[in-house]
Structures are given as C-alpha cells and as structure tokens.
Amino acid sequence: MTPLSVAVDQLLTKAVPVTETEALPVVEAAGRVLAAPVVSGCNVPAFANSQMDGYAARAQDLVAGQVYAVSQRIAAGQTPMPLVAGSLARIFTGAPMPDGADTVVMQEDTEPADVARASVAGSGSGSGPEPGSVPPSVRVLRVSAPGQFVRKPAADLRLGQTVLAAGHRLRAADLGLLSSIGCTEVKVVRRLRAAVFSSGDELVAPGQPLSPGKIYDSNRPMMMALLRGLGVEVTDMGCLPDRLEATRAALVAAAGAHDLLMTSGGVSVGEEDHMKAAVQAEGSLDLWRIAVKPGKPFAHGRIGAAAFVGLPGNPVSSWVTFVMLVQPFVRRLGGETRSAPVRCLLTAGFDWTKPDNREEFLRGHLNDAGQIVLHDRQDSHILSSVCESEGLVRIPPGETVTQGQSVWFYPFQGLV
C-alpha cells in the first residue's frame, strides 16, 4: 500500500493543469482561478486621508487645552485647501488630508471653545458640537502624535505591486481588492470538466423504490457537490453496471470530452469489481491501494487525455479520500497553486488505544473546552458521522493517542 503523502506527491506530479483561459468581469469571477497575475495600476489609498471624524492639524502646533480656529470643513470626496497655519480643519472619515496637516485629533478629544467657556462659568458640561455643525473654534483636550489617525498613501497597495498571483482561487474579499484598484476584468483558467460515475448493481437512484438487496446511491451526488465546490463543471454520467465491457465503453466515451473521470466503487478486489481492469484495458493505472483508513481501495490513472480517479464504495471512505487526496489533485488540474489542506494542532479530548498500520482519519469536533472529541461511530459506512462532525483527526500509522496530547485536526471548512 502507498502511504498517503507519497500518493499525494505522485498525483500532483502527474497532474496536467488546464491551459485554456477566458476573460471574465470581476463581479462574476468568484471561485475562479487566475490565469495571470494582477498588477495594481494605482496606490491604495491614492492619497492621505483621515481614519476618523475629527480635526486635521499640524502635530507640532498642538498643545493640550489650547483653543484653535477652525479654518475649513473637509468631507469625503472634496478637495481641501492647504491648512492655514495655526488652525485646525474639520475633517471626516475618508476625507483627504489638507497640505500642511500631518495628524488628526479625534472629535472626542476636542470641545467647542464656547462650550468650554460655559463649562468654566458653571452653565454647561461640554457635550461637543451638534452633528453637521462646525464650531468657529475648538479646544484640544488631548493632542495626537504625527501620523496618528492618518491613512497613508499606498498603505494597502502600491502602484506596480502584484496584487494577486496566477493560480489563486478568487474569493469575495479578492473581488473587493481587485475593485479597489479599478480592475474590471480578469483572465481566468477555463473550468475543469469532470465526468462522475457511480458503479454497482446494488445502487438505486433516490426517489425510486427499493427492492431487497438494493441501496440508494449516495456517493455520486456527494462527489458531484464536492467537485462543484471546487469550481468544476460536472457531468452526471449515472451508475455503471457490474459488467466489464459496459464499464470500459462508458469510460472511453466520457474521456473524449472531459479532463477528469471520477468513479466510486468497483476498485477493490472482488469478482464484481471491474473498474481496475477497465482502466488497465483502456488506459493506464498508476496508483492503487492507499495506506489510509478509511479509504484503502483507491485508484488513479489515465484514459486517453483524461485523468482517472476511482474512489472507494463506502461513503466515508469516498469522502476521506476525496478531501485528503483527490481535492489537492483537482485543484492542481484546475490551475490552482494551493494544494496542502488546512490543518491546525489541537488538544485531544479522547483516548485512542487501537493503533493501525495505516494512517487513520477519524471524524470529530471541538468541545466547549476547545478540545477535539471523536464521533462515537467511526465505521466507513456511517455517513452521518461526517455530517455530525467538524473535521478529521489524523492518527499516524502505529500510534495511539492519550487525552491531552496534541493532534492534527483538518477542519472541513478548510478542506472543501
């Protein structure tokens, strides 16, 4: 059996990424993979601006308790005049700093000078200016240091900077970032095309009556959803019968129009498992049987120009092998540079006293103490254990776990 890390390396090495590209509007590009880097054509921010409502000033002129004239009012989108020496400028969040000003005094650190005088006379308490009003003069209660509360030009992005690299999968924040530099269109990799099969005479489509010995087909809908979550264009190829010639013909027919063929079931060593023989007859089989629990029956190869991936028939085995092994492979095929799954080191809230010669991935979740605890059912046919968990706990081959020990945890949100 091939160790998981070796199998992943082999898959990534053999992955032939899609090279065709297309141009898309930024607003439609979420989930797509960049085919070319994006370089900023401007600084962000393009000018120094205020981080909050207050008063723009020259820091060296400020003295706590002193009264200053307010020489102008600057709102976002306006062009200010140079700051009059010895004065303050009323300024609002996002408004450009006037020439001559290098700091902002927060509104809360000032009071109108007439309110201050009334307070001293015992007729008021200094509640600050009314919204929208600009007092003719204000008293500074607390001074600001040079540069304080000022957003500097190019503090986020600078002109000529590579904003996002080729191979990056675009997320919502990325679209906002691209829009912040005025980008309206990006070059992306063409969507990967995958044909998805299930196999087995025992499978029945959901919604159909179940006769004795039959089960509903759960793997194919799950695989299609996993692939679509990675931005893949998926074709539902239905369920293959347990017959070698029919399997061979279906795989060959699908290979001509797809980049990836994915099946579940039929890759073990039973008399009715024909997938391995079909791939060997029509193409090549490069990898078979992985030292993973659950998920040992796994196959990878090629039929024509299409990559082939055969997942186990048990639903949890199919899920685990997809997220830990196939997911990085699919990302690479689709032009994405990311491959390693997200993981974190957490404290075990369980004991695991049953070492295995394979690398194990157990379903679990965080408890209120921030520890990882296991689902009480770890059998490979119990798909509800995935639905009721938050991630996978990795147990290295031949090892046990004692409560309080650190373990690697792969959250589902970081996997798919």
Q: What is the pTM of this model?
A: 0.86
Residue at 334 is within a domain: no
Residue at 131 is within a domain: yes
- Range scoring the smallest mean pLDDT among 15-24, 121-130, 146-155, 259-268: 121-130
Orientation angle between helical segments 244-255 and 275-282, nearest 10 degrees: 50
Residues 369-378: pLDDT tens digits?
999 999 999 9
Nearest to 258 by CA among 283, 243, 237: 237
Domain containing 140 — which CATH number?
A: 2.170.190.11
Is the model more confident about 9 or about 296? 9
Percent of the chain residues past pLDDT 90, beyond the cut: 84
Residue at 336 is within a domain: no
Residues 114 and 238 both lie in one domain: no
Write down which residue in 273, 299, 327 finishes a domain. 327
Report strand pairing: 203-204 vs 260-264. unpaired
What residues form DSSP beta bridges with 261?
Answer: 195, 308
Residue at 66 is within a domain: yes
Rounded-to-10 torsion of CA 139, 144, 148, 153: 60
Confidence band for 270, pLDDT divided at 50, 70 and 90: low
Residue at 332 is within a domain: no
Q: Is the pLDDT of residue 131 over 80?
A: no
Q: What is the C-alpha separation between 331 and 307, in angstroms, rounded?
A: 13
Is the model more confident about 38 or about 129? 38
Residues 39 and 161 both lie in one domain: yes
Write down which residue in 129, 151, 173 finishes a domain. 151
Q: How far is CA 182 from the centre of its chain?
A: 23
Residue at 339 is within a domain: no
* Per-residue pLDDT, 122: 39
* Per-residue pLDDT, 272: 54
Residues 34 and 172 both lie in one domain: yes
Residues 211 and 129 both lie in one domain: no
Residues 256 and 115 both lie in one domain: no
Residues 261 and 375 both lie in one domain: no
Residues 215 and 320 both lie in one domain: yes
- Across residues 299-326, what is the average pLDDT? 94
Q: Is 94 left (phi over 0), alpha (psi -120 to 50) or beta?
A: left
- Across residues 5-17, what is the average pLDDT? 93
Residues 31 and 180 both lie in one domain: yes
Write down which residue in 275, 293, 327 finishes a domain. 327
Q: Is the pLDDT of residue 121 over 70?
A: no
- Across residues 99-109, what is the average pLDDT? 97
* Per-residue pLDDT, 1: 85
* Per-residue pLDDT, 115: 56
* Per-residue pLDDT, 132: 54
Q: Say how many domains are in the chain.
A: 4
Q: Is the pLDDT of residue 167 over 70?
A: yes
Domain containing 176 — which CATH number?
A: 3.90.105.10
Residue at 74 is within a domain: yes
Q: What is the mean pLDDT of the chain?
A: 92
Lookup: tokens for 300: 């990878």
Residues 110 and 126 both lie in one domain: yes
- The residue range of the domain holding 126 is 49-151
Residues 174 and 203 both lie in one domain: no
Report strand pairing: 103-106 vs 54-57. antiparallel
Residues 232 and 296 both lie in one domain: yes
The dihedrals phi and psi of 229, each to the nearest 5 degrees, come to: -65, -20
Residues 207 and 321 both lie in one domain: yes
Confidence band for 340, pLDDT divided at 50, 70 and 90: confident
* Per-residue pLDDT, 317: 93
CB count within 10 Å of CB 319 equals 28
